[in-house]
Structure 1
Amino acid sequence: QIWTDIDGMHNNDPRVVGNTEAIRQLNFEEAAELAYFGAKILHPTCVQPAKFAGIPVRLKNTLDPKAEGTIIDNVLLKGKIKAVAAKDNITAIKIKSSRMLFATGFLRKVFEIFECYQTPIDMITTSEVGVSMSIDNTTHLNEIVDELKKYGTVTVDSDMCIVCVVGDLDWSNLGFETLVLDAMKNIPVRMISYGGSNYNISFLIRESDKARALQNLSDVLFNKK
């Protein structure tokens, strides 16, 4: 059990969005995604031992012990979107190079630069002649950009954030990605990540658009507006 000051994990950020609700049940994978993308109750790795042992984790409210809270277990509710979360202070880096076309080893060279400066990559999207990545650690940003310029044209977008939608988002579940995209139709989107996980669709947007994006997603996914 984890005792905190709210009645479990909420389906959106209550500091930004009104009328959020506590999530009654989460799969361990869904909880890990939410923790990584901003839910402060859990550290992304803290539930792993319980997951492997099959031990449910319950989040409870010390101010209201009778509240149901959130239970995290290995049960997956099919066809259910559970929550929205956001991660701030993201920087996007795009490298465009004609040398990437039909080339082998190009991505390895790019990733080795980030590895050299011990900078993890959050999101990644690729095309025939370009690759875009997002990072949350800008300690060595200038050095990384200088190294990347050896291979192509580099652009940097700062003051970004990642908004993610979490639930049973397997590609065989028809219509979910359309529903999420419809909620984001009035938000400028820099990158989209879909298919890397069965539990997450992520959008890279400007931090200035975060509140509007979170509210739109709540309205469409949970409030049925």
Structure 2
Amino acid sequence: MAVMKFGGTSVGTAGAMQQAISLVSREAGKAAPLVVLSACSGITNKLVQIADAAGRSDLEEAMRLAGEVRSFHLNLIDELIKSDELKKELADTVEQFSARLEMLVKGVDIVGELTERSRDMFCSFGELFSTTVFAAAMKDQGLNAEWVDVRKVMITDDNFGFARPLNDLCEANAMLMIAPLLEKGTTVITQGYIGSTKDGRTTTLGRGGSDFSAALLGSWLNDNAIQIWTDVDGVMTCDPRLVPEARSIRVMTFSEAAELAYLGAKVLHPDTIAPAVQKNIPVYVLNSWHPDAKGTLITNDPERLSGKSYDGLVKSIAVKKGQCIINMRSNRMFGRHGFMNELFGAFARFGVSVEMISTSEVSVSLTVDEKSFSEELIQHLNSFGEVDIEHNVATVSVVGDNLRLSRGVAGRIFNALKDVNLRMISQGASEINVGFVVQESEVVTAVRNLHREFFSGPEDAGIFETPAGTP
């Protein structure tokens, strides 16, 4: 059996949803799959806007946006569903969800406070809408499908906004509520991203958590594949918006995929890999609009990794914009133990995640998200030594498992970047990435030069694949 997860763009219109249904139907011909859906593209953002408007008591704006969410899904029903009886039944369900959404808006407006718990409830409506319409459309086309509320399976802690599953309880629920349906040939349609506490309060797993949901469910059900369906032909050698000639990667390891996710690649949610690694379940990243393209296989299986399809030195180049460098110099660092522990304790106290770090005897440079630090943090850091900030920078990382085994990689990287001003350099502790920081204005030059250096030679033939529809 396989888990098929469809992202927002893959179910964002009636045409996209119909394409996804055809893919599910094709998979069901082999074995009934578990289908995990995100909200339709743009809906979660709109639900966040509704929550924010309700929180600031802008009732008119919140209700207007809620009306747009309602109309979007009613129009989706009109385009997808042929049966008048099913169309009416489904429209009634959408009206019920919409009434509950509007009731939540009014409740937050009356209380005058938007909590993380309330925000999670707002955001959950996107997946409830999309899966309800999708399951009904499958039934309308004579396919054997059943809608399941994942909140009865995905039981989490009460860390609203970033809840973590209670694994043993979730696994037991999955085997009790989902496995029997799949075994008798029923395709199960359920939600990504959301869950609930033991006492039934809705939670979310964080933005992008639908990938995580799919991987968790696949591991609990001991499935043989997790398929992540997107609108691109797998994991790319680079962001094609920066490098138009970027190609899809045919095979990569779990460690490479995880590294890319944490370093800024948008195809996979960073947490997705962990459950798959635990059970060694292969993950396929595929394009719902080009289903016959090979996409990317993520695995640790030595047989699948052997041969020319994996021999590339570098797998991908990841970029993370919106960063800043915090440079600190202090003579207290020289020959003294415990300084770094105190320094990172300060970042932990202010809830700031450090992205990249480079140190010397009396100085340390690190990058953080531009939006994450405050003046209070900087004032606190001044107690450690001299501090200065460099804004408008980006991290660029060259990733590949074979880097750890290869000589001369650094020389090729720096030769490719001879025309770029490197503000900071860091070798990843995992030894599968080399990262550096450049001004945002130089990102395109840096990435294109690196891509030309590592992906333009004849030795790359057969390792990567030109995306479908590309000349």
TM-score tier after normalising by the smaller chain length: over 0.9
1:217 corresponding residue in structure 2? 450
Are 2:313 and 1:80 equivalent residues in the alignment? Answer: yes
Distance 1:97 1:208 in 2: 30
| Distance apart, 1:78 and its partner CA | 5.8
2:434 maps to a residue whose letter is I
Secondary structure, in 3 states, of the residue corresponding to 1:215?
helix
Aligned to 2:195: none
**Residue 111 in structure 1 maps to residue 338 in structure 2:** no
- Superposition misfits of 4+ residues, deviation over 6 angstroms: none
Equivalent position of 1:185 in the other structure: 418
- Structure 2 residue runs of 5 or longer lacking an equivalent are 1-226, 459-471
Tell me whether 1:197 sits opposite 2:440 in the alignment: no
User: What residue number does 1:64 align with?
Assistant: 290
Matched ranges for 1:1-225 at <5 A: 1-75=227-301, 77=310, 80-136=313-369, 138-224=371-457
1:85 maps to amino acid: A
Q: Who wins on radius of gyration, i.e. which is larger?
A: 2
Percent identical: 39
Secondary structure in 2 aligned to 1:81? coil
Structure with greater contact order relative to length (CA < 8 Å, sep ≥ 6): 1
Q: Distance in 1 between matches of 2:338 and 2:311?
A: 39
Cα deviation, residue 198, structure 1:
2.1
For 1:138 and 1:215, locate their aligned partners in 2 and report how far apart those are by CA, in whole Å: 27
Contact 1:169/1:176, CA 8 A, preserved across alignment: no
Provide the rounded CA distance (Å) in 2 between the counterparts of 1:9 and 1:78: 16
How far is the alpha carbon of 1:140 from its aligned partner? 3.4
**C-alpha spacing 1:171/1:65, structure 2 compared with 1 (3 Å):** closer
How far 1:214 moved relative to its partner? 0.7
Q: 1:88: Cα distance to partner?
A: 0.8
Equivalent position SS for 2:423? strand
Name the CA distance, whole Å, in 1 between partners of 2:246 and 2:373: 37
Equivalent residue letter for 2:233: D
Looking at structure 2, the residues matched to 66 and 79 of structure 1 have their Cα atoms a distance apart, in angstroms, of: 23
Q: How far 1:98 sits from its partner (Å)?
A: 1.3
With 20-29 and 192-201 compared, the bigger mean Cα shift is at 192-201
State the Cα deviation string for residues 147-187 of structure 1 (Å, max 9, x = none): 11112110100111100111025444211121112111211
Q: Which structure is higher in helix share?
A: 2
Instruction: Give 2:287's aligned amino acid.
Output: N
Q: Distance in 2 between matches of 1:40 and 1:150?
A: 37
Instruction: Judge which range, 165-174 or 146-155, deviates more.
Output: 165-174
Please give the per-residue CA displacement for 1:83-135, whole angstroms capped at 9, x wherever unaligned: 11100101110110112111122111111110110101011111111111111
SS in 1 for 2:271: coil
- Report the alpha carbon displacement of residue 58 of structure 1 after superposing the two structures with TM: 0.5
Give me the whole-angstrom Cα distance separating, in 1, the residues matched to 2:312 and 2:287.
28
Code of the residue aligned with 1:200 in structure 2: it is: N
- Residue in 1 that maps onto 2:71: none
Distance of 2:249 and 2:413 partners within structure 1:
19
TM-score by length of 2: 0.46
Q: Measure, in 2, the Cα distance between the counterparts of 1:132 and 1:91.
A: 10
> Which runs of 5 or more residues in structure 1 are unaligned?
none
**Structure 2 residue identity aligned to 1:182:** N
Supply the distance in 2 between the matched residues of 1:214 and 1:51 (Cα, whole angstroms).
30
